[in-house]
């Protein structure tokens, strides 16, 4: 029995739910949203879909007690309209998502949930850390999508410029899922060859490629008012790595002992969540960028109040 739950069924949560149902990934799915009409509508729409699918998913709504035996919990709540005039600042949602954590974390804890929590809310790294602290779940069982998506955007941009499939581009975007993120070019290869040498041969500016990748999400947001498909795909892939015990090496937002905060860097994802946080042999300049990005996240985290627990 693969049991999933989603808190927040807006654009991203609904896309995650649709993916889980249509791909036959979830045997049981719990949808939770403050807007009960929206949760019910998504339930009905997905139920109507199932007569045309090869699999079946039992779908329930708005019952925190169902989290007790859930394997995976996605938290995808937020206020996307806070970004409408944010000029590329994901921290515009901070005042909303921290209040969401204060509301839902005690309910998650009371439910007895002991699976793996995957946070998609922004600002991702800081809020993921807040959720871990507020729910009391072990650090390895709470992770965020973090720079998993930013790395995919880098792969797309590099693939387009070198005329290769993005899957043949390897490497990492590290740090905050935000403006202090950076591409660790020392880790990037194209068809197995170091990108720095190839870029010099093709007279490509890596800083320009990085700028294109960083702005990818805002290009989508400016056109349709939100992002959904890519981030939902990242979230589902992380969940599959957990339930399949895939030991997938990928970037995500996970706890770093070195920086004492959640931050985007590579990890091994398996049945217990974060099996191991990896440390890459990156350059001194990249190490400094990662330290500065992590320091910024930690500074913001320290402004958050403790979450009151239910009694």
Q: Which residues are catalytic?
A: 177
Alpha helices (H) along the chain? 11-22, 36-49, 94-111, 124-135, 147-162, 195-202, 206-214, 216-224, 229-243, 284-301
In angstroms, the CA 124 to CA 297 distance is 10
Radius of gyration over every alpha carbon of the chain, rounded to an integer in angstroms: 19
DSSP state, residue 1: -
Q: What are phi and psi of 28, to 5 degrees?
A: -140, 140
For the chain, percent helix, then strand, then coil, each to nearest 5? 50, 20, 30
Per-residue tokens: 185:
């070019």
């Amino acid at each position: 029995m693969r049991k999933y739950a989603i808190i927040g069924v807006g654009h991203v949560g609904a896309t995650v739910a649709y993916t889980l149902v249509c791909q036959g990934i979830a045997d049981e799915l719990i949808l939770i949203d403050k807007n009960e009409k929206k949760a019910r509508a998504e339930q009905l729409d997905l139920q109507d879909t199932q007569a045309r699918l090869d699999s079946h998913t039992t779908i329930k709504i708005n019952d925190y007690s169902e989290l007790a035996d859930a394997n995976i919990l996605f938290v995808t709540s937020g206020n996307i309209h806070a970004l409408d005039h944010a000029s590329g600042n994901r921290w515009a949602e901070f005042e909303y998502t921290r209040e969401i954590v204060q509301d839902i974390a005690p309910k998650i804890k009371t439910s007895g949930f002991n699976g793996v929590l995957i946070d998609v809310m922004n600002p991702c790294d800081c809020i993921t850390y807040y959720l871990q602290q507020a729910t009391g779940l072990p650090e390895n069982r709470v992770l965020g999508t973090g720079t998993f998506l930013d790395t995919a955007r880098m792969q797309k941009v590099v693939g387009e410029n070198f005329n290769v499939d993005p899957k043949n581009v390897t490497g990492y975007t590290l740090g905050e899922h935000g403006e202090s993120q950076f591409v660790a070019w020392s880790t990037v290869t194209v068809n197995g060859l170091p990108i720095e040498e190839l870029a010099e041969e093709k007279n490509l500016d890596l800083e320009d490629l990085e700028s294109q990748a960083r702005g990818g999400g805002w290009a989508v947001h400016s056109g349709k008012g939100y992002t959904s498909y890519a981030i939902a795909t990242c979230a589902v892939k992380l969940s599959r790595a957990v339930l399949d015990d895939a030991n997938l090496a990928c970037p995500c937002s996970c706890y770093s002992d070195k920086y004492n905060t959640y931050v985007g860097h590579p990890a091994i994802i398996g049945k217990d969540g974060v099996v191991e946080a990896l440390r890459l042999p990156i350059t001194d300049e990249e190490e400094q960028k990662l330290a500065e990005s992590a320091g910024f996240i930690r500074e913001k985290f320290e402004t958050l109040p403790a979450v009151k627990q239910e009694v």
